[in-house]
Amino acid sequence: MTSTAEAPVAAPAGRTAAAPSRKASRRGLAKAGVLLRRTVALAAFLAVWELAPRAGLVDRIFLPPVSEIAPALWDLAGSGRLWQDAEASLVRSLSGFGLSIAVAVPLGLLIGWYRPVAELLNPLLELFRNTAAIALLPVFVLILGIGETSKVAIVLYACTWPILLNTISAVGTVDPTLVKSARSLGLSAPRIFQKVILPAAVPTVFTGIRLAGATAVLVVIVAEMVGAKEGLGFLINSSQQNFAIDDMYAGIIAISALGLLFNHLLVLVERRFTRWRAPVR
């Protein structure tokens, strides 16, 4: 007696081998599309910058084309001056930025978790959070001098506020259901803080840290313009005073590249500490 059931048809070997290659090609095309979308705006901006001075839409003396600024940037890098100034600015900004994290994150967690501390310090925080760091730069210079201490201190002051305020907000906006669930399981207050509050607060804290990273670069540039013998801010200011316009724009481009690199590193660190989060599509 013959069976009426048909044997399953085996898929051709070539078809199974082609499936992974198709997926890989699709992923490659997707990455290429993302890269294209991210660079098209920058390419358009550089094209406008190159063509506007050549077409006479802006004064070429005050806004040279990009093709004329690139050699100046190369010459500054080749002479070593660009690296020396970038190193000075980076050391100042990183010093103040690191100190602000060490001060603002623990203080923000304390204020957000303990209501008596928040009630005690909130009036003082409201007073100083609305005072621009640049407005206090002359005060820092008068008290701490024109050396490195005043520049690191002004960066520390400016970076503290975005980190502190975001940390306080992160602790205050934790889902109360999570805290109640942890208490119902018999966890003590320190354990709730460690297992519930801290993980939930990390993304918002890193938002403040990234804002502070951008602030650190901007504030140190302004401080170097006021009084410094080296640094990217000093390079831009001295080039403007000596009418070396190409060098001035080269310094500005270097600052932009430094800020992008700084932000990218912070994004990588944030991903490292928030791997438990579901990816947002």
| pLDDT tens profile 173-191 | 877 787 777 777 777 777 7
146-176 in b/e form (b: 16+ CB < 10 A) is eeeebbbbbbbbbbbbbbbbbbbbbbeebee
What is residue 2's predicted lDDT score, i.e. its pLDDT? 47
In the predicted model, is pLDDT for residue 138 greater than 70? yes
What is residue 155's predicted lDDT score, i.e. its pLDDT? 92
- Cα torsion 241, 246, 252, 257 to 10°: value is -150
pLDDT tens for each residue of 72-88: 889 888 888 889 999 98
Q: What is the DSSP letter of 195?
A: I
What is residue 280's predicted lDDT score, i.e. its pLDDT? 47
Q: How confident is the model at residue 171 (pLDDT cuts 50, 70, 90)?
A: confident
pLDDT tens for each residue of 51-107: 988 888 888 888 888 888 888 889 888 888 889 999 989 999 999 999 999 999 999
C-alpha span between 60 and 135 (Å, rounded) = 34
In the predicted model, is pLDDT for residue 267 greater than 50? yes
Query: Rounded to a whole number, what is the largest CA-CA distance in the chain?
Result: 105
Q: What is the mean pLDDT of residues 164-169?
A: 90
What is residue 173's predicted lDDT score, i.e. its pLDDT? 80
In the predicted model, is pLDDT for residue 238 greater than 80? yes
Structural domain spans, the chain:
20-60, 66-273
Q: Which CATH architecture has domain 66-273?
A: Orthogonal Bundle (1.10)
Q: According to the per-residue pLDDT averaged within each range, which of 32-41, 181-190, 256-265 is highest?
A: 256-265
What is residue 21's predicted lDDT score, i.e. its pLDDT? 67
In the predicted model, is pLDDT for residue 277 greater than 80? no
Q: What is the DSSP letter of 196?
A: I
Specify the higher pLDDT residue, 26 or 249.
Answer: 249
> Cβ neighbours of residue 245 under 8 Å, at least 6 residues apart?
61, 62, 64, 239
Mean pLDDT of the chain: 81
Exposed/middle/buried for residue 9 (C-beta within 10 Å: 0-12, 13-18, 19+):
exposed
Cβ atoms of 183 and 114 closer than 8 Å: no
Cβ atoms of 135 and 75 closer than 8 Å: no
- Could you write out the DSSP letters of every residue in 82-107? HHHHHHHHHHHHHHHHHHHHHHHHHH
Specify the higher pLDDT residue, 17 or 35.
Answer: 35
- 62-66, 78-82, 133-137, 192-196: lowest mean pLDDT where? 192-196
Q: How confident is the model at residue 1 (pLDDT cuts 50, 70, 90)?
A: very low
Q: What is the DSSP letter of 136?
A: G
